[in-house]
Amino acid sequence: MLLMHKAICCCLFIFSLSFASWGQQRVSTSLSLTKVDFFHGFEYGQQHQAFEWNVGFEYGINRSIFQKRFFPKLKTNGFYNLIHKPKINLGLGMQYTYSLYRFGTTTKDIVQFHELMGGLRWNVGNQWRFGQTLMVGGLWENDFHTLVNKRQTYGTFGYIIQIDVSYAF
């Protein structure tokens, strides 16, 4: 849990450094499919010319609602919009996410997921925008391995397919 607090503080600190100097701001809500779960979340972003940077919070729908075990995810991403028009954007970018899942009552029952991905994001509209993000990359799972009695990290292929609706102000 301490690692989750450190990740939140780090994201907020980095984001606050750029708050005053960036241009257009936006808030969005999204649904996404990943290798780990379906997620619903909220994102805050700033865009300056063709550059865009966002931070967000999501929760896993299957595990949080149906299994009644809260599954939070923090994310940050940056994009460079190759097409940057008033009503359409198409950009390349990278995203890092950190999620934490507790399936039991002890600290050994915690699984951490780190994802680092690259891909495309497009959106259309003026103030209200509809968009989609497609990304692929690495997914690392860190959990307690009972056979060797220590935490281990496993890497695999990961993906994100996301649709979102945002409001720019």
pLDDT digits (tens, 9 = 90+) for 26-71: 999 999 999 989 999 999 999 898 999 999 999 999 888 888 888 8
> What beta strand segments (E) does 49-102 contain?
51-60, 72-84, 88-102
User: Is the distance from CB of 59 to CB of 67 less than 8 angstroms?
Assistant: no
Helix (H, G, I), strand (E, B) or coil at 12: helix
pLDDT in tens, 15-38: 555 554 557 899 999 999 999 899
pLDDT at 167 over 60: yes
What pLDDT was estimated at residue 102?
83
What pLDDT was estimated at residue 59?
94
What pLDDT was estimated at residue 8?
55
pLDDT in tens, 94-112: 999 999 988 777 767 888 9
pTM here is: 0.82
Q: pLDDT-derived band of residue 6, with 50, 70 and 90 as boundaries?
A: low
pLDDT at 77 over 90: yes
What pLDDT was estimated at residue 60?
92
Stated length of the chain:
169
What pLDDT was estimated at residue 109?
80
User: Is the distance from CB of 169 to CB of 26 less than 8 angstroms?
Assistant: yes
User: Is the distance from CB of 46 to CB of 18 less than 8 angstroms?
Assistant: yes
What are the b/e assignments for 38-62, b being 16+ CB within 10 Å? bbebebebbbeeebbbbbbebbbbe
CATH number of 2-16+24-168: 2.40.160.20
Domain extents for the chain? 2-16+24-168
Among 51, 55, 56, 57, which residue's Cα sits nearest to residue 23? 51
Across residues 81-92, what is the average pLDDT?
A: 94
